[in-house]
Amino acid sequence: MNHLKTYILLAAMTALFGGVGYLVGGTGGMLIALVVAAAMNLFAYWNADKMVLSHFRAQPVEPNHPDPRVRAYLEDTLLLAQRAGLPPPKIYIIDNPQPNAFATGRDPKNAAVAATSGLLGLLSRDEIRGVMAHELAHVKNRDTLTMTVTATIAGAVAMLANFALFFGDRDRNPLVGLAIMLLAPIAASLVQMAISRAREYEADRIGAEIGGEPEALARALQKIEAYARQRVNVDAERNPAMAHLFIINPLSGRGADNLFSTHPNTKNRIAQLTEIARRFGRPIISAQEASKSGPWGAPSDRRRGPWG
């Protein structure tokens, strides 16, 4: 079913790309845009995950990494993948102070998960496990292909829309370029939003089942939300089309369930996870209580991150 959704999404984004091309350059522009879109779809299918990891300068984690927190992240993620019945994913780390994480890859055999240094420095070990169980749920649900390809094509639609101001047929309609520049990125963003929010709720639920610690994921979301607002993710701001990949929106000033939000309201997600924890008979501990102790030492030490 998720493959069907991916193909429908690709068709919709291709049609949008062709429509913008027609408005920019007429029939010739539409044909050129459709050819470009077809080539991009094919390229994105095989390479979008590499583009995302490269954009955020993700580095593979080695088993002999000197930081025990990074080694624990590697070991726990591999164990969770085994528990979920998934092939071992490639595991990356991003040197970025904003706590966040994402999964990518066209299928479970080619999946990768990435966490920021800020996340490993902020969260306790069980909370990191909760986050990675969520990301592996995306892999298990085969969300990663759809999410990664959408990021690639949405960015291309926005780029094409910007060209409209300079190459549009202004003799026919001087407002065409301006309208495309404004509306095309919004249309691409709406597609992102449509696929993101429902998938996040489902990944939270399945991640809770994989990890068996829904309360830890709930605490992690609460902490990530609070700290992400205080730290700007420069790489994400440079390419907002990739924002929906992350477990928490990495862009500044976003966080509510509204038309232009790529993520569900974090409070709603925590409420769902808290209810799951009650059904599991798990203890409910707030993020404030959890911050008083943990395997990585005092909270002030954890906030610095693995690289100091």
Residue with tokens 């193909």: 7
pLDDT at 34 over 70: yes
Q: Is the pLDDT of residue 255 over 80?
A: no
Q: What is the pLDDT of residue 302?
A: 39
Proportion of the chain above pLDDT 70, given as a percent: 66
Q: Judging by DSSP bridges, how do beta strands 112-116 and 101-104 pair with one another?
A: antiparallel
Annotate 250-278 with b (16+ C-beta within 10 A) or e (fewer): bbeebbeeeeebbbbebeebbebbeebbe
Helix (H, G, I), strand (E, B) or coil at 91: strand
Q: Is the pLDDT of residue 48 over 90?
A: no
Q: What are φ and ψ of residue 101, in 5° steps?
A: -160, 160
Catalytic residues: 135
pLDDT of residue 4 exceeding 70, the answer is no
Q: Are 110 and 53 in contact (CB under 8 A)?
A: no
3-state helix, strand, coil in the chain (%, to 5): 65, 5, 25
| CA atoms 241, 244, 245, 247: torsion sign | positive
pLDDT surpasses 90 at 301: no
Say if residues 137 and 210 touch (Cβ distance below 8 Å): yes
